[in-house]
Copies of this chain bind each other. A is one copy, B any other.
Amino acid sequence: MHIELIIIGNEIISGDTPDANGPWLSQYLETWNAKLDQISIIPDQPGVILNTLSQSINRSNLIIISGGLGPTDDDITKKTLAGFFHKDLKINPVAQELVKSHYVRLKRQWVPEHNFYHMIPEGFEPLSNNIGLAPGLFFQTATYSIIVAPGVPLEFQSIIKETIPLKNLIDAQPPLYQLQIRTKNITEEMIFNEVGIELLKKIRPFTEICSYPRSFGGVDLVIKSQQDIQTLKEDFLNSPLKQYIWQIGNLSLPELIIQMSTSKKIKLGLAESCTGGLISSLLTDVSGSSACYMGSIVAYSYEIKMDLLGVKQATLDSYGAVSKETAWEMAKGAFEKLKVDIAIGTTGIAGPMGGTKEKPVGTIGIGLFSKNYSHSDLLVFRGNRIELKKRFSQAALHKLLEVIKTS
C-alpha cells in the first residue's frame, strides 16, 4: 500500500500559509497502521498538477489531494483533474444537493452562478463537507483511488475522517508495537556511540529504531517492532541512558506536567517575563489543565514585576531584571499571589535587541518556588526571538517537571 498526499496551493508553496494537512494526515493514518509515503506541495498550475498526478498514479494506490476547490479563478483542481482524465466538468445532481445543504447549514444564500461547487468531473463522486461549502471528490480505478478535499484544515480533516471509507481503501496491517523513549541533555551521537550503544545493539535485531533530535537538545527514540516490546521499558530504565530519559511515552511535556500535577493534586502558577505568556499558553493547550493550572502573571514591565509580584527595586537595581535573583523573586511572588504549590518565574532577553556582553540575547533566569524547594538558574540559549521563547519555555517546563516528579 503506497499512500501519498498532493497539496495544491500557491499560499502553501509560497510559505504564506503553513501546511497543516500533511502532519495531520500522517498522524491520522498512523491510527490505521498506515503511513504517508510522500508529500508533494505544488502551486495552482495545471502543468505542475498534471505532471505530479501522472507520477503519483504510477507509484501509489491512494492519492489524497488537498486544495484548489474554492470559488476563485485560481482554484483549478477540478478543471485540471477533469482534463487529466479527459472528462468534462459537469453539474452533478448529488453535488448540487450537497452544496445546497452546505449553504443552508452555514445560513448563507447559494448563488450557483457565483461558483462551481456543484460541478464535478464525470465519473467522480462528490463527498459531503460537514464544515465548509465545497464538496470533496472521490475517484477509483482498479489500481488506485483518489480523494480530493478542500485545503482548509477543518474541512480537509472532516472529509477524510467522516466521509471516506478509508478502512476499505487501506489494507489491514498487523499492529506495530511502539515505544517512545524521550531524552534531554544528550545528543544523537552520544546515544548511538556511547551511552546507548550496548542496549541499542541488543534490541536492533527485532526492532526498528527511529531517532528524532528535537530542537531543544533532546532526542526522542521511537522503537517499533512486530513483537510486544513493553518489557524494553525496564531495559531502558536500567541502562546508562536512564539519567537522560524524562519520559517513556507519547505525552508532550505540557501534557505530562498537567497529568502528574493533577494526579498529585499540585497547583501550578507562573510569573512570566521573557516567555511572554507562552508557557501559560502551552500548559492551557492541554485539555483538562484547569484542574491543576491556576494562572500566570505576565509581567513584561518593571512596574508589574514590582507591583504584582513583589520583586524588590533593590534586586532589579543590583542584579538587573534578567538575573536569577529577579527570576527567583518572581517565582516567589507568583507562589504567593496565585496561591499555588509550585511556581516558576522567567526573565530573559529574547532579542533581537537588549543583549549585552555579560548577558547576551538568549540569556534567561528561571526561578522555582514551592513550600519545600526553591532554586534559580541563569542559562543561555541560541536562536531568533520566536525560537528563544520556545527554548526558554521548554527549559522552564523541564525544570518544573523535575520538581513535580520529586514532590
**Which residues on A are within 8 Å of B, measured CB to CB?**
10-11, 13-19, 22-27, 30, 35-43, 48, 51-52, 55, 59, 70-74, 111, 113-115, 131, 152-154, 188-189, 192-194, 209-215, 220, 222, 270, 272, 275-281, 283-285, 287-290, 293-301, 303-304, 307-308, 337-339, 350-353, 382-383, 385-387, 389
**A39 → chain B closest CB, angstroms:** 4
Partner of A338, one of B55, B70, B304: B304
Given A41-B39, A70-B188, A298-B295: A26 in contact with B17 (beta carbons within 8 A): no
In the bound assembly, the distance between CA atoms of A73 and B365 in angstroms comes to 38
Q: Taking chain A's interface residues, is the majority helix, strand, or loop, or is none over half, making it mixed?
A: mixed
Given A15-B23, A16-B212: A290 in contact with B281 (beta carbons within 8 A): no
Given A37-B48, A303-B294: A154 in contact with B285 (beta carbons within 8 A): no
B211 in contact with A72 (CB, 8 Å): yes
B48 in contact with A35 (CB, 8 Å): no
Given A40-B38, A71-B189, A294-B300: A285 in contact with B386 (beta carbons within 8 A): yes
**A44 → chain B closest CB, angstroms:** 9
A74 in contact with B277 (CB, 8 Å): no
| B-side contacts of A212, CB under 8 Å | 11, 16-17
Q: Which chain B residue lies CB-closest to A303?
A: B339
In the bound assembly, the distance between CA atoms of A11 and B222 in angstroms comes to 10
In the bound assembly, the distance between CA atoms of A73 and B401 in angstroms comes to 32
| B-side contacts of A188, CB under 8 Å | 70-72
**A64 → chain B closest CB, angstroms:** 13
B281 in contact with A281 (CB, 8 Å): yes
